[in-house]
Amino acid sequence: MKSKSIRIALFLLFFTGIGIFAEDGMEWIGSFSSKELEMSDETENQDTVYYLWQLESLKKNIAPRYIRYLDVESYVSSGKLIHRGILFTYNGLRDESVEICGSFNNWECSDMKRNQYGIYYTVIEPTQITDSYEEDPVYEYKFRVNGLLTYDPENFDKLEDGSGSYYSRFILENKDTDRQTKTMVLEDSANEERDLRTVKFQIYLPNAEVVRVVGSFNDWNPEHDFLKKDRKGVFTLEKKLLPGEYHYQFIVDGDYMLDTYNPSTNIKVDTNESVSSLLVPERNYALERKM
């Protein structure tokens, strides 16, 4: 009963907070058809949010496209209500297994989910990075159907693979802003050091002018660490920190605030105010030498 109440509360909070029951959202309720996903523009805007059950109700495979969808069931484990990524589908009604292999997973095939209509689907998060640590918008891929590789029949963008067949390609021209952007410890970055970890402080504040971060790592000095704002309204700053626990706050146009999407908080002893808490773990793997 408790978990059910939590899910209901999350639904109400989410719908009230971002207005998912706006006119565009209501078009999906009770009248879903896979045809609605067959849009002329393969890139979604920030106002369109789908539901996980809509992916599970697809009756035909469609060309790949960037989508946002709501998954309440995974909220406890992932801490995210809205998930986003590139949707890939394949009609495998008579096939026992369908996997996707591509440049985004080093061409190592990974399983796709099968819905009740025999449509296999998966959503790939757009985090592909080039050797120069810049985002790569080109996603090359094939499907492995019952052990045999094939291109995507619904995607007209395909190139010869040099072995008499083709691989499919999807170009992500742009993606929407992750409004749930949060501070994180990066697994890797352009300049890693053996004893230090790279922490990426980030927060979505499109209307802010100046954002700084203060914390136990810089003696709470507001003049040390300024975040840089991108054109989508996300402020970011990368810092090298030793493993350990840190407390911090953002200063937004002069006002102190917690890290919005960091649920871990603590009390700053000298001021008795709430601060965000971040645990930087020890590195549990060896660094690879970068060329």
Which comes out higher in pLDDT, residue 41 or 279?
279
**Do 49 and 126 lie in a common domain?**
yes
Which comes out higher in pLDDT, residue 134 or 116?
116
**Do 98 and 155 lie in a common domain?**
yes
In a domain, 63, yes or no: yes
Give the pLDDT band (50/70/90) at residue 133: low
- Nearest Cα to 53, choosing from 4, 113, 126, 127? 113
Instruction: For residue 29, report the phi and psi dihedrals to the nearest 5 degrees.
Output: -75, 120
Confirm if 121 and 113 have CB atoms less than 8 A apart.
yes
Q: Compute the distance between CA of residue 124 and CA of residue 84 in angstroms, rounded to an integer.
A: 8
Q: Residues of the chain with pLDDT > 90: what percent? A: 44
**Do 147 and 254 lie in a common domain?**
no
**Do 202 and 82 lie in a common domain?**
no
**Do 88 and 185 lie in a common domain?**
no
Give the pLDDT confidence of 248-277 residue by residue, as tens digits. Answer: 999 999 999 999 888 888 888 888 889 999
CATH code, domain carrying 251: 2.60.40.10
Q: Compute the distance between CA of residue 241 and CA of residue 217 in angstroms, rounded to an integer.
A: 8
Q: pTM for the complete prediction?
A: 0.56
pLDDT over 50 at 112, yes or no = yes
**Do 224 and 150 lie in a common domain?**
no
User: Domain of 222?
Assistant: 180-280
**Do 130 and 189 lie in a common domain?**
no
Considering its fold, how many domains does the chain have in total? 2
**Do 195 and 145 lie in a common domain?**
no
In a domain, 60, yes or no: yes
Q: Measure Cα distances from 188 to 148, 185, 192, 229, 286 in Å.
A: 33, 9, 7, 22, 11
In a domain, 288, yes or no: no
In a domain, 291, yes or no: no
In a domain, 34, yes or no: no
Give the pLDDT band (50/70/90) at residue 210: very high
Confirm if 122 and 178 have CB atoms less than 8 A apart.
no
Residue with tokens 């000095």: 221
Domain-terminating residue out of 174, 189, 215:
174
Burial 153-173 (b: 16+ CB within 10 A, else e): ebbeebeeeeeeebbbbbebe
Strand ranges, E, within the chain: 50-51, 65-70, 82-91, 98-102, 110-111, 113-114, 119-124, 138-145, 148-150, 158-160, 166-171, 184-185, 197-204, 211-215, 228-229, 234-241, 244-252, 255-257, 265-268, 273-280
**Do 112 and 133 lie in a common domain?**
yes
The string of DSSP letters for 237-266 reads EEEEE-SEEEEEEEEETTEEE--TT---EE
Name the percent of the chain in helix, strand, coil, to the closest 5: 10, 35, 50
- How confident is the model over 161-174, as a mean pLDDT? 90
Least confident of 103-112, 180-189, 270-279, 281-290: 281-290
In a domain, 10, yes or no: no
pLDDT over 70 at 36, yes or no = no
In a domain, 20, yes or no: no
**Do 158 and 124 lie in a common domain?**
yes
**What does R_g of the chain's alpha carbons equal in angstroms?**
22
**Do 189 and 170 lie in a common domain?**
no
- How confident is the model over 156-162, as a mean pLDDT? 93
In a domain, 191, yes or no: yes
**Do 232 and 168 lie in a common domain?**
no
pLDDT over 70 at 165, yes or no = yes
Q: Measure Cα distances from 27 to 5, 221, 285 in Å.
A: 26, 50, 48
pLDDT over 50 at 20, yes or no = no
Cα 180 to chain centroid, rounded: 9
pLDDT over 60 at 23, yes or no = no
Domain-terminating residue out of 174, 195, 229:
174
Domain-terminating residue out of 115, 139, 174:
174
Neighbours of 214 (CB within 10 A): 20
Give the pLDDT band (50/70/90) at residue 195: confident
Mean pLDDT, all residues of the chain? 80
